[in-house]
Structure 1
């Protein structure tokens, strides 16, 4: 069965689950998305009122939700987004009660008690606006939220909202990051951060161990341990950071979680447009360029876009769409010595500078544009079928191409590598209120990510070494840093149930993901010819030929996460959360990933109803996801084969410049399986995990000021590392290898193949000597 067929079958299964969600529910209702308003309705004598109707209407959209107070006078209403709300309460024999409610942050529980007055002369009672405490004293997880207002007002470099997470406590930059280093210009390169280094470290956990989501659905690049796509700030409502995820509903992260909650439309049409322009004249010069007497790196950046939102059906259905284009101008200079004569089998551009007398080459100097361009489109639609059911659909699309990695110099223009990330996703969330005490949530996502760093042309690669090195044709990188093309497909299904039973709130759920990844190492796959000098090139007489075959690796990872959790309101101001989770990554033979979770939230002043102080404590085990980059690197050599004339010189007698090898029978004759010298994966490799223990206090000291103090202990286990299984073993009688080498002479006589085992010098005996007067005795 193909991947497409699997995706279609699973999507059909999800549609069926959505249709029957009013009777069956099996997965997570994520508390990062919704807002719960709850409280009690009483009369002026503090007696509970049964059967009161409480209606909460969103001022911006007009969408309303209502509930009836139960036998204890209590009500509970789930809202889908922060905003300004009008609350209306009615009961027979009582005046109508109206109040304004402002909810600033999603993923919170808001307490709102209502007191109704007996019916009299007045038709209704209106109270002043209410802004609840910014602290949720029943919330057991630790984290914070960056609101839409903060995203709009705070300056963000590159307009990347994820950079704002560094304003929060417990957040640190990833090790080896180069994200904030200045550009030094042509020919000056800083060693790049490893692909799988991650983005941020949350509360001391590895930067590769975070789960990045959009509206609760996966937004990870499982190979690179980074986000798949970043949305423009205009389309984002909140950036939510969970630094200690003690709730059992959170998985695939041994560190923390970053969730981007998107904006929806409102009851009026609105839009905005923007243009940002940056020029090197507005930048400071770098230290090293100043030291070398160089000016600023020439560069211009243009960023333009906008968003538009409004109602599809007023008071019912809404939409929001956004678009952004980024264009960064750049260029590099080619300064290559190319042959004066042309090879008709592989023509090179002619030199444009005068050649020295008697020289076979002339200088080619050319300015090559190397721009970067990205197009980002995203759209969201919200459909409110009734007070108990709504559906949100979202589409994200990214297209990017980047030539700025081209170094110029001796590489001709056709050797430019096209770098970029294309991403596509379609997702949906369906909420169904089954009863006043049961809520179901179903989600799905289809996504496709295609990063690349590929040649611009389909051709062989050519290198001429002398008198001046020049690289032409298709450039495919090096064996350590190859050109590549990869694809990551994902189908994600979530189903969730949230049930209230007395003072208990039960959550149970599942998260299923089917991840299909492919990686193609393009180094030398089209064939590479090397010539010692120009004369050899003109005579079609290469000194080396290399071509690699079957360099694609494929990885399938079926991910399953199951959990059950009980949040028990032990008494007013005290919530205990107990949960249990099981995670499975099929790509590894590791099936016992069970993780307990225990947390507490205690308001020491809960009796006064202020809700401004909370003490939190928790313990949990958290399993990370499998990093596909590591597994791909170890598995690629299972199929890859190299034909190299440096290994078997007979190759040069069968290849004909400028043709690559197309006869696969030559692979069996000259090919060398790369499994003979590549690394291996341990058969008992396990998913890494952390154990976290925390204790903290949070206090709202003013209307817009919160003070927190936390102690967090994080311990990692089963962290992946490389081990040299062929490493030499130090004899027990020596303290170091230096002592061992100094203790004896070593045989250096020629081996049967002709080479010497230690050094190529003619000495048959080698002695290591660290004294000031080194002995001349061999």
Structure 2
């Protein structure tokens, strides 16, 4: 886009918002109310504190009639705390104040109990017409975090589940302190998690339904800390059902240490440091079929192409004693953060995170034999800097910068050629080869907000750039691909090289008298592919920029209209002027007597773009036909074996595969619209029902064009999807019990499942248009916390989903495309049983109907996770004033674009410090020191979560379950796992 065009866009924003900016010179707001006890008797002398996300708090006391008044309040988001001796502290978070507003906030204080427990919920039970107070969102902090796993990898899976099925094949996105990408911080450093908040905000590029925002803790005005030790052992767990009757499995265990410490540096600065270290001695479960020379006790497949059937027999199961393969892992991270108060109106936050992760024997399991594995190691250094300035009582500006440096290595366990038998096993070395990657990510953001009487204006921009240097010799060891159920004497593929005795009628392991014998056993690979490395290292960079402006306009007290626009651009592909308008509304249905609305109607529309990834761009740089050349020989004959790859064909007869960017490839986008309502249910619960429709255009996919000298594979943007969703969210926040969750009904059709998807037809995309593999018809999540008597607490987390649609393939390549993605045909009519091979045919005889894409459904899965703990308090008792600071500092940095990093406690001695909730067992006991014992069960009811069954028709294991579903439903080792935990808080 030219400079003149950009200037026009900027002028448009200035003109569009100039009327409301002109009205920004309004006087400060007034906040007033009455402090009373449970019987509505007024309480004089109570301390009322109104704390902004950053800056100085305002403090006053209630008068003799219980009333209080705070004047000259700047626009923004605040937390309100009311304390009085003998009463439990009253805390209200997320109080939004607009310029010139006259806001009434009454406080009803409970009588303080002998053992006071303060459990501040970050999400109130009142519905609101504010754009970021939609009841379809979930905000988790404090004790509610206990429902989630402490393990960062499992936590990521659970957060993705909590966000629900985002529209389209690309899913949602996780932000950490407003930044994209990178690793999750240690859970001990997490202050708050927001999910699906303000889904049509123009500030974000990704879809709002499916967005997860994680905010870390600021420093505190007093020293606080937590350390937790957790561990699990195989004696507490149930086994993996694919280990066999002998249940032979070496011992395994997990140890996990995490914690945090926070406190003041001086009267202008505070700090917090969180970290964790995890050691896992786990197992991968190998469960292939195989061809062995003598008996099923062997673990190494015999060489392909033996003379007789008896020399190389097929066995349906792998030896039980060898199925569990060691999979050791280590992970460490540390994340210090420092908050500086550079003045009354300037807050600087600096956060650093170091992460290192090592894993051995990756890539092993299910049908991948132990030799096909590899070892990995990765490190990441992240620096995040945020500076928030209050330019005036109505104008705030926030600048953010992120630097991220990643280094990773991957080393195969074997450099032998890879042998892949469709649906049976993969042996030999890993085709991924040796890899080294170094990447640098830079991100700069600047956001401003202006508050007026009826408008809240936000605008700003973001620039991201990531470069990577990748060294890889993937494919250089060569890959042999075999199928099953082939009879080379009668196969219809004319390029099959038949044994010479076929015409003579002599019975051999490979003639028609023995139909059903594997091409591996016959020594006839379907293809052989090998990559010649001319240039080992390639370098690539992807940069994108996004500008936005939006306005929350409240023409009436019960109506908010939010309108905004994003302008995005990206290099590499055609993406110089991606306009993304956003519009939403929230209307509270009026009630008689001037009462607050209990029903809010909501709706919205937006366009959301997806960026072309750096990983795919590097693929085009590697496989361009010059840097790395992949040669493929189709049906090379029996002389081509893993022992003699040099006999697989001459370079002149090989087909060369290149991968590039298709002509006209552009950024894909989704148009999403939603309508629904938020409903107040009593004083402590809300419910939200929303219907969403999404259409994705120019979705990424790959196409494989057959050319004279080989295959021209291209990334293109010719995909499309349509998706209908019904979302039902609920939240109940009672005195001792908190529950939150959702149910999603999801129906979607598509002709792609992502950039690496190859359609079966390059000329008619309708052939592959059907049920989308990324859509679960039903998906439900429930979590929460329950404060029990005598210091006990329980935190459940439940996930249930219907089966994932999956595709059937024949396991053959009848058209010599080099891609094994052809679907079978129905033997009878237009339907078949997905676990019965006789209902399908690999070849079309007569007028058989082809099987639609993603015809089958995987298994339904369910998991019930539960954490139970008991808190023991000792030392001096903490007063109400100390407890009142728990959980303060949420909000949105005075509305400066959703960052929320500042929190409270930026000044030592101030009222905004964060206390309690530190670490995974941050329960309050009323004492200065607490010791917590607990246990967490994953998949408590031991429901076996099967993975997708074998879907290759040519495999004798077609329709069989061979592995467990991935997280969050299970680990590879056990169906039910139990970990024991102990923590100390001060």
TM-score (norm 2): 0.49
Find the aligned partners of 2:174 and 2:447 in 1 and give their Cα distance: 19
Question: What is the correspondence of 1:435-450 to structure 2 with a 5 Å cutoff?
Answer: 435-450=392-407
2:354 is equivalent to residue 397 of structure 1 = yes
Q: How does 1:103-142 map to 2 (within 5 A)?
A: 103-104=92-93, 128=109, 134-139=126-131, 142=134
Shift of residue 369 of structure 1?
5.9
> What is the aligned counterpart of 2:670 among 682, 690, 703?
690
After the TM superposition, which residues 105-254 of structure 1 pair with which residues of structure 2 at under 5 Å, given as runs?
A: 128=109, 134-139=126-131, 142=134, 143-156=136-149, 158=151, 160-165=154-159, 168=162, 171-172=163-164, 201-202=165-166, 205-219=167-181, 228-242=182-196, 245-253=199-207
Q: In the alignment, which of 458, 481, 490 is matched to residue 507 of structure 1?
A: 458
Question: Which residue number corresponds to residue 609 of structure 2?
Answer: 623
| Paired position in structure 2 for 1:497 | 448
Per the normalisation by structure 1, the TM-score is 0.61
Partner of 1:713: 693
Following TM superposition, by how much is the alpha carbon of 1:559 offset from its aligned partner in structure 2, in angstroms? Answer: 1.0
Matched, 1:102 2:91: yes
8 Å CA contact 2:671, 2:694 repeated in 1? yes
Q: Report how far residue 211 of structure 1 moved.
A: 2.9
Partner SS state of residue 376, structure 1: strand
Query: How far apart, CA to CA, are the structure 2 residues paired with 1:284 and 1:612?
Result: 47
Q: 1:608 to 1:716 in 2, by over 3 A?
A: same
Q: Tell which deviates more after alignment, 675-684 or 500-509.
A: 675-684
1:679 partnered with 2:659: yes
What is the SS of the residue equivalent to 1:601?
Answer: strand
1:376 lines up with 2:333 in the alignment: yes
| Corresponding position of 2:553 | 568
Superposed, which structure 2 residues align to 1:281-360 within 5 Å? 281-290=235-244, 292-295=245-248, 298-314=251-267, 316-330=268-282
Question: How far off its partner does 1:504 sit?
Answer: 2.1
Change (3 A) 1:378 1:331: same
Distance 2:192 2:370 in 1: 44
Contact 2:54–2:347 (CA under 8 A) maintained in structure 1: no
- Are 2:74 and 1:76 equivalent residues in the alignment? yes
Q: Which has the higher contact order (CA 8 A, sep 6+)?
A: 2
Q: CA deviation at 1:246?
A: 1.3
Q: CA deviation at 1:422?
A: 2.0
Stretches of structure 1 lacking an aligned partner (at least 5 in a row): 1-23, 28-37, 45-53, 89-97, 117-124, 173-200, 220-227, 335-364, 529-543, 650-669, 732-767, 772-778
For each residue in 1:582-607, what CA deviation from the matched residue of structure 2 results, as whole angstroms up to 9, or x when unmatched?
11111212222101111111222388
- The 1-side partners of 2:653 and 2:457 are apart by 55
1:471, 1:675 → 2: CA distance? 24
1:600 alignment partner in structure 2 = 585
Distance 2:589 2:532 in 1: 71
User: Any residues of structure 2 matched to 1:340-739 within 5 Å, and which?
Assistant: 370-405=327-362, 407=364, 417-455=374-412, 477-478=430-431, 481-523=432-474, 548-605=533-590, 608=594, 610=596, 612-638=598-624, 639-642=626-629, 676-726=656-706
Q: Which moves more between the two structures, 489-498 or 237-246?
A: 237-246
Shift of the 612–309 alpha-carbon distance from structure 1 to 2, 3 Å rule, reads: farther
Aligned 8 A contact 1:310 1:318 in 2: yes
How far 1:382 sits from its partner (Å)? 0.9
Could you give the per-residue CA deviations for residues 653-711 of structure 1, whole angstroms, max 9, x where no partner exists? xxxxxxxxxxxxxxxxx999999422332121111111111112113324442211111
Q: Which residue is equivalent to 1:539?
A: none
Work out the CA distance in 2 between the residues paired with 1:629 and 1:259. 24
Cα distance change, pair 106–513 in 1 and its aligned pair in 2 (3 A): farther
- 1:719 and 1:470 map into 2 onto residues whose CA distance is 32
Q: Is the 8 A contact 1:428 1:444 kept in 2?
A: yes
User: What is the CA-CA distance between 1:55 and the residue it aligns to?
Assistant: 8.7
**Whole-angstrom distance in 2 between the partners of 1:126 and 1:700:** 20
Distance in 2 of aligned mates of 1:590 and 1:267: 48
CA contact (8 A) 2:227 2:258 kept: yes
Q: Pick closer, same or farther for the CA change 1:454–1:674 going to 2, 3 Å.
A: farther
Q: Whose Rg is larger?
A: 1
In structure 2, C-alpha distance between the alignment counterparts of 1:635 and 1:585, rounded to whole Å: 18
Contact 1:575–1:601 (8 Å) recurs in 2: yes
**Alpha-carbon distance in 1 for matches of 2:266, 2:654:** 61
RMSD: 5.4
Distance in 2, matches of 1:556 and 1:277, equals 42
Contact 1:642 1:671 in 2 (8 A): no
**2:64 is the alignment partner of 1:64:** no
* Count of paired positions: 564
